[in-house]
Amino acid sequence: MTGTKLNIGRRGFLKILGAGAAALSATAMGLSTAEAQVAAAVRPYKLLRAKETRNNCTYCSVGCGILMYSLGDGAKNAKPRIFHIEGDPDHPVSRGSLCPKGAGLLDMIHSHNRLTHPEYRAPGSKEWVRISWDEATTRIARLLKDDRDANFIARNDKGQTVNRWLSSGMLASSAASNETGVLDFKFSRSLGMLGIDCQARLCHAPTVSALAPSFGRGAMTNHWVDIKNANVVMVMGGNPAEAHPVGFKWVIEAKMKNKAKVIVVDPRFNRTASVADIFSPIRAGSDTAFLMGVVRYLLATDQIQHDYVRAYTNAALIVREDYSFDDGLFSGFDEKTGGYDKASWTYERDAEGNALRDASMTHPRSVLQLLKKHVDRYTPEVVEDITGVKKADFLRIAEVIGTCAAKDRTLTWLYALGWTHHTGGAQIIRGSAMIQLLLGNIGMAGGGVNALRGHSNIQGYTDLGLLSTRI
Ligand code: SF4
């Protein structure tokens, strides 16, 4: 074997090992090598004849890799049946791990409660009756067609062609493939259906509202595996140790390899908090005040990365003179409509339309100075008053966060629906984005603002944008 490189995967190795073990015991019984090899074939490795299919766990957004083993040789009338599922050791995020939800997938597949065929309940009846797929699709198509024929609007009152169908709608999944999502959209839109929405909006709409304007895209900025590079892991509005258990091992890896500090600020002492270095309870929904307090602390103690902030953020740009913020209202507020005219919410421009900038970031109307003025009210005392986070705890946490305003240190921010399901969810997430930009932690290994999604393809459906507002 000298000079020969063995190109063998883990699965192949196990197969050989299974056959080899049997061969060894057969040799020990006095059989020749050839006979031993035949004996080995009598009891092969249990997965040897199984068909191996790669897939992803159907539950959370960690998307752990799974290997599914089924029997059935493909012969006519032979029905394959999955009899074993295990973690895929080659998957880059899960590396063979599965949490109890993923490890129990086999039970879910074979559960008696699993609906594997269409059922129909007649009006007024309590009974569900099994029907064929043909009956189901024919009935659904019939009902849709009847409704569309009766309610389709070809032209509006002004005689303009609109081709709308408003009386039926569609709610798309976020646990299906991107291809399914594209078909959902084509199906509903080609029929003129306007009422289309998807689970991704329910879970993470504020993520898109906050991260898209901040960074150009409404997605977690970094990768699960990248969390291992963080020096500080800040968790608010989420409980990844329980909700994303396999992804959370990268937090543990950061703790082990970088001695990363894990900080949890959450109304509940949850499982993530149980392995955190610092935990502070917070009044539910008051996260924005906490984050603005951190922004104030970083600016007051000058713990920001100046070069980064100057080069990669809008902090040096000069805002229009007629922009203001008084008594809780921004300029342009219309009392009658309760809305804003946002014309003043932009930058001073030169003759060519370019925004004016002050590289020193000291101009009183530079974004940085206006931000400083805006957050000045969030002193540690005010933060304690609004959020319930004790002043001493707040300062301890802010101090650790401030250590990441250095070129060789990064903080990663993890959040989930504990942030997105507030009416001010977009503002909360924007707050963390501002802190990360001040620290110079965006676009850096171990940094970012990481939206932890609930379903296996929330991100895919978010990117597709299956929304009523999109044509
Ligand atoms: S962590 Fe998420 S994707 Fe992985 S096994 Fe558990 S539920 Fe499935």
> pLDDT, tens digit, for every residue of 378-426?
999 999 999 999 999 999 999 999 999 999 999 999 999 999 999 999 9
Pocket test for ligand 1, best of 86, 91, 244 (most atoms within 8 A of CB): 244
Where are the CATH 2.20.25 domain residues in the chain?
A: 51-97
Atom of ligand 1 nearest to the CA of 103: 5
Residue 411's SS3 state is strand
Q: Is 383 in the pocket of ligand 1 (CB under 6 A)?
A: no
Does ligand 1 have an atom closer than 6 angstroms to the CB of 87?
no
Report the alpha-carbon distance of residue 175 to residue 455 in Å, rounded: 6
- In this predicted structure, the answer to whether residue 18 has a pLDDT above a threshold of 60 is no
Residue 73: what pLDDT?
67
The predicted pLDDT at position 62 comes to 94
User: Of the residues 97, 101, 452, 455, which should be mutated to test ligand 1's pocket, given the most ligand atoms within 8 Å of the CB?
Assistant: 101
CATH code, residues 51-97: 2.20.25
What are the Cα distances from residue 156, in Å, to 159, 259, 469? Answer: 5, 64, 18
Domain span(s) for CATH 3.40.228.10 in the chain = 221-318+357-452
CATH pick for 221-318+357-452 out of 1.10.8.60, 3.40.228.10, 3.30.70.1070, 3.20.20.300: 3.40.228.10
What would the pLDDT profile of 39-84 be if each residue is shown by its tens digit?
Answer: 666 666 777 778 899 999 989 999 999 999 998 766 777 778 899 9
pLDDT in tens, 170-205: 999 888 899 999 999 999 999 999 999 888 888 888
Q: Tell me the CA–centroid distance for residue 106 and ligand 1, in Å.
A: 14
CA-nearest of 91, 70, 74, 81 to 116 is 81
User: How far, in Å, is the centroid of ligand 1 from the Cα of 456?
Assistant: 9
CA of 109 to the centre of ligand 1 (A): 16
DSSP3 helix / strand / coil % (the chain, rounded to 5): 40, 15, 40
